[in-house]
Amino acid sequence: MDEVSLCPPDSCFPFQVFGISQSGPIDAQLAWSIRDAGNVVVDGGTLLFAADGLVEVVDGTCLPPGAYNLQMQWPFPTGQPFQVGVTPSLFEVPPVSVVLPADGLVTMPFTLFAPCIESAQGMADTDASNASIALHGRTLHIMAGDAGGLGQIIIMDAMGRTVHAVQTAGATAVVDMGAAATGTYILRSLGLRQVEPCRFFLH
C-alpha cells in the first residue's frame, strides 16, 4: 500500500448542489445559497430546469470543510415538489437531501468533510503521529504510531449519525463494520493529531 496523507490540508473541497423534479421536466429556475456557521452567505447560484430537458440539474461548488446550511427557494410557485440537496461525488455516495415544497423555502443543514483518500481499501498517514487506518473487508484497523493512545473513536454515517463509538487508551483498535450498510463513513479519533475527520467507503 502506497503511503498517502490521511487528511490532506486542502482548503477547498468540491461537491455538488442538486435539484430533482419529482413530477417530470419543468421550465423553472431554482435559486440556491449556502451559509456558514455564522449565517454568512459563502456561495450561491441558480439551477436552470428546461421543460424539454432532464429532471435533474446539478451545480458544482467548492468550500472548506465545515458546517453549512443549504437554502433553496422558488422565485414563484411551481406546483411541483422537488428533492434538493448536496452530494460529495455526483451520487457515487448517498447524498444529503430534503424535499422542497412546491411553493416554499427550505433550509437544510449539512457538514462537509475532507476526503482522506480515493482508495476504498487502505489508508496510511506520514505525519509525526504515523497514524494509519486500513480497511480489510469489513474490519477497520486503526493504529497510532506514536506513544499516544487513540482515545475516543467515533464513526459516523454520511448523515452524521454515530454508528460506532469506542474508547481505548491503547494505540490500536479494531472495529467490526460487518453489520453496517454500504456507503461512506466518517472517522474521528480524539487521540490522533489530525485537524479534520477522515472519510472511508465501505463496500
Residues 6+ apart with CB under 8 A from 68: 34, 35, 36, 37, 42, 109, 110, 111, 112
Q: Are strands 28-35 and 66-73 parallel, antiparallel or unpaired?
A: antiparallel
pLDDT digits (tens, 9 = 90+) for 101-119: 877 788 999 888 765 544 4
Asked whether the beta carbons of 34 and 68 are under 8 A apart, the reply is yes
User: Which architecture characterizes domain 122-202 according to CATH?
Assistant: Sandwich (2.60)
Note the pLDDT of residue 100. Answer: 86
Nine-digit cell string for 40: 454568512
Note the pLDDT of residue 46. Answer: 92
Domain ranges for the chain, please list them: 13-112, 122-202
Q: Which residues of the chain have pLDDT under 50?
A: 8-9, 117-130, 194-195
Note the pLDDT of residue 99. Answer: 87
CATH number of 13-112: 2.60.60
139: how many CB neighbours lie within 10 A of its CB?
Answer: 12
